[in-house]
A and B are shown apart, each in its own frame.
Chain A
Amino acid sequence: MLALAALGGYAFTHLRVSGDLRAFLPAPRTPLQGLLLHELGRGAGARTLFLALRTPDAAQAAALSTALRAALAGDGRIATVQNGAGGPGRIAPGLLPYRYLLAPTLDTHRFDAAYLHAQLRQRLDDLGSPGAGLLKPLLPADPTLETLKLAQAWAPRQAPPLRHGVWYADGAALLLVETHAAGFDPDAQARVLDSIRAAYARLPGHARATLQISGPGYFGVVLQALTRGTAERLGLVSALGLLALLLVSYRSLRAVSLAALPLLSAAAAGAAVLALVFGRVHGLTLAFGVTLLGVAQEYPLRLLSHRGADADPRATARRLGPVLLLAMASTAVAYLAFFAAGAAGLSQLALFTLTGILAAGLTTRFLLPALLPATARDTATPVLARLDAALSRLPHPRRLALLLAAAALAALVLVRAPLWQNDLAMLTPVPLPLLQQEARLRHALGAPDVRHLLVIEGDTAQQVLARSMQVAARFAPLLREGRLGSLLLPSTYLPPVAVQRARQARLPDAAQLRSALDDALRGLPYRAGVFAPFLRDVHAARHLPPLTPQAFERTPLGGLLRALLIRRDRRWFGLGLMGGVRDPAALAAAAAAAAPAGSVRLVDLKTESEAWVAGYRARILRALAAAAVLLALLVALGLRRAAPTLRVLAAVLLAQLLTLAALRLLAGPLNLFHLVALLLAAGLGLHYALFFERARSADDAERLRTLHATLVCAASTLLAFGVYALAPLPVLRALGMTVALGIAANLLAALLLAWPRRLPPC
C-alpha cells in the first residue's frame, strides 16, 4: 500500500501533461512530412488567430480595432497584431537602406542619365496626379520609388478593404494576431485567448461590438475543453454505474472497495513509468489509458466471482493463476499493437497500459487475496442456474453461429460506403459552424490557400533563396494568366546574397551618380539639391554588407521570412504560400520543371495527409496481422489441445466478423481508431472464450461462477467503454462504439461456440 502511494506520488510530481494533439498523429517518415507536421503546429498559419469586431458602425469598429491593437501590442504572448493600419507604402526603417539590394530594378536597369531622366519625368506626372500627396515625401531619397515596389510586393494581394484606416469587411473590423505559442498547444493558446478577451473587455465602448475569435489555436482550445468536459462527465457516469453494478453483484462494500486496488495500482504504476521514460505525457494518453485499464478490472472481478465457498481467497487466486496469466498475455499482445501505430501518443498509451496490466495482474494474484474478507457469498445462485439452463436449451448454437457469420459477411459485401476514412479532418471534431466562420474570415483577410503549398528544398538557406528566385520567374506567367492569384516566396522578402551583390555591383559610384543625375535633371523643374538624400543613400547602399536571413529576421518583418524559410533536419526548406489556386495541374508542372528535379514540389496537403494516413494504416494492419498470429499461438500454447483451441479461435473470429459488420452498418467508412479499438475488443473477448473453455472440466457451481464472472466483466466493460460511444468527439466515439459492439459480439460468440452446454436431462 505504501509502495502504491509512493508510485502515485512520484507520478503526480514528475509527470507533465501536455496538450499537443499532434502526438496522436502518425510519426513523420520523410523530412517533408516532418516539415508539414511542424507547420501544422508551429507554422505561422497555425499560430495565427483571426479576430472580428462585429458592428455595423464602421467608425466604432475602427476605433475598437485601433484600441485593441494598441492594447495587445505590449502582450508578451503575442508576436504581431495587424489590423490594416500602417501597412503598404511603408517599409520597416531598418530595411530602408537595403532597398536597392532588395528590389529587382537593378537587374534590368542602370542608374544612368537616360534611366534617371525617364524616371524623373514620370515623377513629374505623378506630382500632377491625384495621388501626389502619397509620393511627395518619398521622392527626395527614392526618386525611382524602390520602397513602393517593395511595399507592393510584400503587401497581401487580397487584403480586405480599409474603412477609417483599418480592415473592415462584412460588418466587422478584422485583425490578424500571431501568437508565440504553437497552434496545437491548447493551454498556451487558452492563455492568449484569455488575455485578448480581457484586453477587449477593458476597451471603452466594447459593448457596442462583439468580438469573434477563430483560427487553429482557438479550435485547439475548444477541442480541449470539449474533450475534458466529455471525459469528466462520461467518466463520472461510468464510475457510478460500475459501483452500482458491483455492489449488486457482490453485496460487500469491503470486497468492492478492495477490488479497485488492482486498477489503482495499474494507474499509479503506468503513470510512474511514463514519468520515468517520457517525462511528459499527453492529456489524452492518460484519459485513454485509464479507460483501457478498465480491462484490468476483470482480474479482481474474476477473483471475487470464483471465490465460491473457498475458505481462503489465496486458494482461489492459485486456481485462477494459469488462466489469468493467459488473459494478461493476450491483452498485452493486443495492446502491443499501439506501439506499431507509430504515433508518440499511442506509444505512450501502449507503455502505460502494459505496465498497468502487469501491476493489476500481480496485485490481483498476490496482494488482493491477503486482504479480502474470509467469507463471501457464493455467486453460483439459482438465478444463474436458470440462465444456464436456458442457454443449454438454445437450439443448434453452432448453426446459429454459422447463420450470423453468413449475415455479417453479406452485410460486409453489401455496404457500399468506402471502407476507409482517410481524411484527417474527419477526425477533427471542430463543430462545423466554427469551421465555416473560420473559412469566411480567412477568405476576407486574403489569407493564403490552406491546401496547396510550394516546398523548395536545398542544402543551405542561400541555395533555397536562389531556387526561390527561379520559382518566382517560372511562376510569373501563371500569375499573369490568372491561373494563380498570388504567390509569396522567401525570395519575395529576401533575395540571395549573390543577387544582392550583383545589384550592389551595378550601383554607380558617387561621382558617376552625381553626373548622371545632373544630366538627367537638365530641362526638368526640380529644385537644386532636392535629391541629395538619394545620392547619400545610393552611396551607403554600395558599402552595405548583404542582408542575411538572420539579419532580416531581426527586423520587424522578420516573422514573415521566418515563416517561409525553415531549417529542419539539417536541410533548408522554403515555402511558397499561394492564393487563388485555379489550375493545380499547371502549377505542379511548373514546379516539377524546376532544376534539379525534385527540389521544388507542389504539395497538396490533403493528398499528402491522406497518403500519410494510408501508410499509417498499412503499418497498423501489419501489426494487427502479427498480433492475430501471436494471439492464436498464445491460445494454442495455453490450451495445448486442438479442439478447445479451435473453439476459442472460432468464437473470436465470429465476434470480429459481427463487430466489423455492425461497425460498417453504423459508422460507414472506418478510421484508424476503429481498427485499434477492434483489436482491443478481440483481446477482451478472448478472455470470455478462455474462461468458458476452462469451465468445461469444472463442476456445476464453478460453471455458474464462470458465467457470473463473465457477465459481470462484460457488463462492467460495456459500462466503461459504452459511455464513450455517446461522446461528441469522433476519436472517443470510434473507440467507445467499437469496443462496446465488440464486447457484445464477443460475449455472444463465446456463448454460442465456447460455452459448455449442460447435457440435457434424460
Chain B
Amino acid sequence: MASLARPAPARTAFTEVRFVGLLTRPLVLRGEMAWLGGTRLQRRVLTPAPELTEIDGDSATLQRGRGRPQRFPLDRAPELKDLAASFVALLSGNAAALQRVFVVHAYGDARAWTLDLTPRDAQVAQRIRAVSIDGAGRAMRCMRVDSRDGDTAFTLLGALGGVVLPADPTPAGLATLCAGGR
C-alpha cells in the first residue's frame, strides 16, 4: 500500500454515480477531488450544480453555488469521517490508519488490485455495509460504497475520472468498469 503514497497536494478528476432508491435514474456528479495534505480533503463538484466540500478531520465546510460556506461538525455523519479518513490513508500510504477504521481484505496483484473494507465502528456499520476500492498499479480507479438502505455509490477516479458513461448506467455496468475487465 505504501506504493500508493504520493506527495500532497494530489488532485484527480472524479465522476460519481449514485444509485438512490428514491430516484428513477442515478445521480451523476463530476468534478475534482484533492488531498491537500494532513487530514484535509477537498471535493469540488462542477456539474450538475457547483458545490465545494472540504473535510478536515472532525469537521466539514460546504459551499453551494455562490452561497456562504457552512461549517458543520461530522458528529452526525461518522461514516463520512471514516470514508474521508480511509481516502487520506490510501493517498498517504498509511495502512495502519486504514486498518484502524476498517477491516481490510486485499486481493489481486500489482497490476489490478481490490481492497474490500468493512467498517469497524458499530455506528458506521449501521449506515455502510461495505466499501470496495479498485486500483491499478499506483492509482485508485474506483471506490464503491454500499449503504445499508440498498443505495450504492461509485466514485470513478484517475484514469476513469473523466470516463464517458452510457446513457443509462447500471450498478453491474459500473462494477465491470471498475474491475477493468478483469
Chain A residues with CB under 8 Å of chain B are 84, 88-89, 124-125, 127-134, 136-137, 139-140, 161-162, 165, 525-527, 530
The distance from the CB of A151 to the nearest CB of chain B, in whole angstroms, is 10
Residues of B within 8 A of A133 (CB): 77, 79-80, 127, 147
Q: How far is the CA of A162 from the CA of B27 in the complex (A)?
A: 31
Contact across chains for A131 and B123 when beta carbons are under 8 A apart: no
Contact across chains for A127 and B18 when beta carbons are under 8 A apart: yes
Contact across chains for B77 and A161 when beta carbons are under 8 A apart: no
Contact across chains for B27 and A129 when beta carbons are under 8 A apart: no
Q: List 30 A-B contacts (CB under 8 A).
A: A124-B23, A124-B27, A125-B64, A127-B20, A127-B22, A127-B23, A128-B16, A128-B48, A128-B49, A129-B51, A129-B53, A130-B53, A130-B77, A131-B62, A131-B80, A133-B77, A133-B147, A134-B76, A136-B151, A137-B149, A140-B22, A162-B73, A162-B75, A162-B76, A526-B22, A526-B23, A526-B24, A527-B22, A527-B23, A527-B24
Contact across chains for B55 and A130 when beta carbons are under 8 A apart: yes
Q: How far is the CA of A540 from the CA of B54 in the complex (A)?
A: 40
Q: How far is the CA of A260 from the CA of B29 in the complex (A)?
A: 93
Residues of A within 8 A of B62 (CB): 129-131
Residues of A within 8 A of B45 (CB): 128
Residues of B within 8 A of A84 (CB): 75
Contact across chains for A530 and B127 when beta carbons are under 8 A apart: no
Contact across chains for B76 and A88 when beta carbons are under 8 A apart: yes
Contact across chains for A161 and B58 when beta carbons are under 8 A apart: yes
Q: Which residue of A lies closest to B26 (CB)?
A: A525
Q: How far is the CA of A130 from the CA of B77 in the complex (A)?
A: 9
Q: Kindly state whether residue B25 has any CB partner on chain A within 8 Å.
A: yes
Q: How far is the CA of A125 from the CA of B28 in the complex (A)?
A: 11
Residues of B within 8 A of A125 (CB): 49, 51, 64
Contact across chains for A530 and B51 when beta carbons are under 8 A apart: no
Q: Which residue of B lies closest to A165 (CB)?
A: B123
Residues of A within 8 A of B88 (CB): none
Q: How far is the CA of A136 from the CA of B23 in the complex (A)?
A: 11
Q: Which residue of B lies closest to A133 (CB)?
A: B127
Residues of B within 8 A of A124 (CB): 23, 27
Q: Which residue of A lies closest to B18 (CB)?
A: A128
The distance from the CB of A45 to the nearest CB of chain B, in whole angstroms, is 25
Name the residue among B21, B25, B76, B77 with the largest chain A CB count within 10 angstroms. B76
Residues of A within 8 A of B51 (CB): 125, 128-129
Residues of B within 8 A of A127 (CB): 18, 20, 22-23, 27
Q: Kindly state whether residue B141 has any CB partner on chain A within 8 Å.
A: no
Residues of A within 8 A of B25 (CB): 525
Within 8 A of A (CB), among B124-138: 127
Residues of A within 8 A of B123 (CB): 165
Q: Kindly state whether residue B78 has any CB partner on chain A within 8 Å.
A: yes
Residues of A within 8 A of B64 (CB): 125
Contact across chains for B22 and A136 when beta carbons are under 8 A apart: yes
Q: Kindly state whether residue B60 has any CB partner on chain A within 8 Å.
A: yes
Q: Kindly state whether residue B144 has any CB partner on chain A within 8 Å.
A: no
The distance from the CB of A139 to the nearest CB of chain B, in whole angstroms, is 6
Contacts A129-B62, A130-B60; A161 near B49 (Cβ below 8 A):
no
Within 8 A of A (CB), among B70-119: 72-73, 75-80
Q: Kindly state whether residue B43 has any CB partner on chain A within 8 Å.
A: yes
The distance from the CB of B147 to the nearest CB of chain A, in whole angstroms, is 7
Q: Which residue of A lies closest to B27 (CB)?
A: A128
Q: Which residue of B lies closest to A140 (CB)?
A: B22
Contact across chains for B60 and A525 when beta carbons are under 8 A apart: no
Q: How far is the CA of A543 from the CA of B150 in the complex (A)?
A: 36
Contact across chains for A161 and B75 when beta carbons are under 8 A apart: yes
Name the residue among B18, B25, B49 with the largest chain A CB count within 10 angstroms. B49
The distance from the CB of B3 to the nearest CB of chain A, in whole angstroms, is 28
Q: How far is the CA of A134 from the CA of B81 in the complex (A)?
A: 13
Q: How far is the CA of A140 from the CA of B53 in the complex (A)?
A: 26
Residues of A within 8 A of B151 (CB): 136
Q: Which residue of B lies closest to A162 (CB)?
A: B75
Contact across chains for A161 and B73 when beta carbons are under 8 A apart: yes
Residues of A within 8 A of B53 (CB): 129-130
Q: How far is the CA of A559 from the CA of B129 in the complex (A)?
A: 38
Contacts A162-B73, A527-B22; A130 near B43 (Cβ below 8 A):
yes
Further pairs besides A130-B60, A136-B149: 6, Cβ < 8 Å: A129-B53, A129-B62, A130-B80, A132-B18, A134-B77, A161-B73
Name the residue among A84, A125, A133 with the largest chain B CB count within 10 angstroms. A133
Q: How far is the CA of A527 from the CA of B150 in the complex (A)?
A: 15
The distance from the CB of A674 to the nearest CB of chain B, in whole angstroms, is 51
Residues of B within 8 A of A140 (CB): 22
Q: Which residue of B lies closest to A90 (CB)?
A: B76
8 tightest A-B contacts by CB?
A162-B75, A525-B23, A128-B27, A525-B24, A525-B25, A128-B29, A125-B49, A530-B22
Residues of B within 8 A of A130 (CB): 43, 53, 55, 60, 62, 77, 80
Residues of A within 8 A of B16 (CB): 128
Name the residue among A124, A125, A161, A162 with the largest chain B CB count within 10 angstroms. A125
Q: Which residue of A lies closest to B73 (CB)?
A: A161
Q: How far is the CA of A124 from the CA of B149 in the complex (A)?
A: 17
Residues of A within 8 A of B73 (CB): 161-162
Q: Which residue of B lies closest to A121 (CB)?
A: B49
Residues of A within 8 A of B20 (CB): 127, 132, 136
The distance from the CB of A163 to the nearest CB of chain B, in whole angstroms, is 8
The distance from the CB of B151 to the nearest CB of chain A, in whole angstroms, is 7
